[in-house]
Amino acid sequence: MADFAQTSPVTTLHDLGTVDSDELEERLVAAAREYRMGLILPVTDSDMRSDPFLKIMEQLEVTEFIDTVCIVLNRAPNREDYEEAHRRTFALGTKAHLLWLDGPRCTALLNELIDADFPLDTPGKGRAVWFAFGYLLADPSLKAYALHDCDIVDYHRDMLARLCFPMAQPSLDFDYCKAFYARCTDRMHGRVARLLVAPLLKALLSMYGNDDYLTYMAGFRYPLSGEFAVTSTLARYNRIPSDWGLEVGTLAEVFRNTSLKRVCQVDLGRLYEHKHQALSLGDPNKGLMKMALDILTNVIRTLASRGIILEAGHFRSLRSGYLRTAQDAIRQYHADALINGLSFDRHAEEQAVEGFASQIPVAGEEYFNNPSGAAAIPNWTRVLTAFPDFPQRLRQAAQRDAEEFSV
């Protein structure tokens, strides 16, 4: 039978297969006349030139419920990168707003903030998303922002509609909506979510009991998804991590800054195919091993901030508990793969779990050496206190870049 269970404080919005996507979009278009929304697309120079990005642009060209699309061009230092991005987003018309982070104007604005002691030295997706928040805050009529990655192979605008609908629907009052979906092709993907985060949270719950934060995190079907929607008010208050802990760190900020009754997750109703990161067992500073370490340290520091005392023995116990829970999960995934006709390499799954487990004591050592960790990117409330006109200046920089291109 259809899954409509609500098993956590986070409201789950299912895809029961009972509504036509065109009907849902019609309702959303009507709601968006009063509840205007922006879309953030963080993209690198390589992803901007890929086939998935072209398909996303084609879908957004006929999407009527999004008012503003902020394409944040990141890790693209060359002028030809900006010009190519401009050409590839031109079909969106006035809806498209291209923010070139590595361009001279945005670089000057970034350096101004760094000189004022704002911790913005680390490039990456986190900083790109943060700048997009600031850019969209210049338009107070935008009520919420959605975000998704630009490497989605099978993208369709109905995914975006399902993500935005809980925010815009007048009878609902959500501040934050997180996407979930199945990640599989001929096999299961999403190894960090399946083999690290889910069993890690179970192990932590067995150690510390029903801690509110852990219960909240365990309630997300796919806590590492890169797709979410957030009100402009919450976007203004949330800090953003600058490392691979972006998704779990963002969820921790949402936990701190709004009521759990105003948090939901929505089934996007289809498989999602992204590009895949290498496991990098031989180099813990790359790939999924680095991602695992950043996630572990983020969760550990969040627990410490909640008053939980962490000692060396706790990390030994956590490693043992995690291994047992993750190995049980592999058995379950194997059975699920078999009944769905998916390829399943149990040896590779075990190797991934052992690699992730090896990062737990490393994360503990990092925590003891630096309990606070690197400073998160500050929230926009702090920036606006020091530079009240900064969002408007971001807009002016983007506009001048666009005017130069069109000359």
According to DSSP, residue 33 is labeled T
Q: In this model, does residue 1 exceed pLDDT 90?
A: no
Q: What total number of domains does the chain contain?
A: 1
Residue 56 token pair: 């996303």
Please compute Rg for the chain using Cα positions.
Answer: 21
- The more confident residue out of 280 and 202 is 202
Residue 67 token pair: 């008012």
Whether 59 is in a domain gets the answer yes
Predicted TM-score (pTM) above 0.85: yes
Strands 228-231 and 142-147: antiparallel
Whether 355 is in a domain gets the answer yes
Whether 1 is in a domain gets the answer no
Whether 250 is in a domain gets the answer yes
Residue 63 token pair: 């999407």
Q: In this model, does residue 244 exceed pLDDT 80?
A: no
The CB density around residue 254, as the number of other CB atoms within 10 Å, is 22
- Find the CATH number of the domain harbouring 248: 3.90.550.10
Q: What angle do CA 131, 388, 396 make, to 5 degrees?
A: 55
- List the domain range (segments joined by +) for residue 106: 11-406
Instruction: State mean pLDDT over 112-116.
Output: 97
pLDDT digits (tens, 9 = 90+) for 35-90: 999 999 999 999 999 999 999 999 999 999 999 999 999 999 999 999 999 999 99
Whether 3 is in a domain gets the answer no
Q: Can you tell me which residue has the tokens 């901007």?
A: 48
Strands 228-231 and 176-180: antiparallel
Name the phi and psi angles at 70, rounded to 5. -100, 105
Q: What confidence score (pLDDT) does residue 407 get?
A: 45
Whether 4 is in a domain gets the answer no
Residue 180 token pair: 């979930």
Whether 391 is in a domain gets the answer yes
Whether 2 is in a domain gets the answer no
User: Residues near 290 by Cβ (< 8 Å), separated by ≥ 6?
Assistant: 244, 280, 284
Strands of the 228-231 sheet, one edge to the other: 11-13, 263-267, 176-180, 228-231, 142-147, 36-44, 68-74, 96-100
Residue 48 token pair: 């901007």
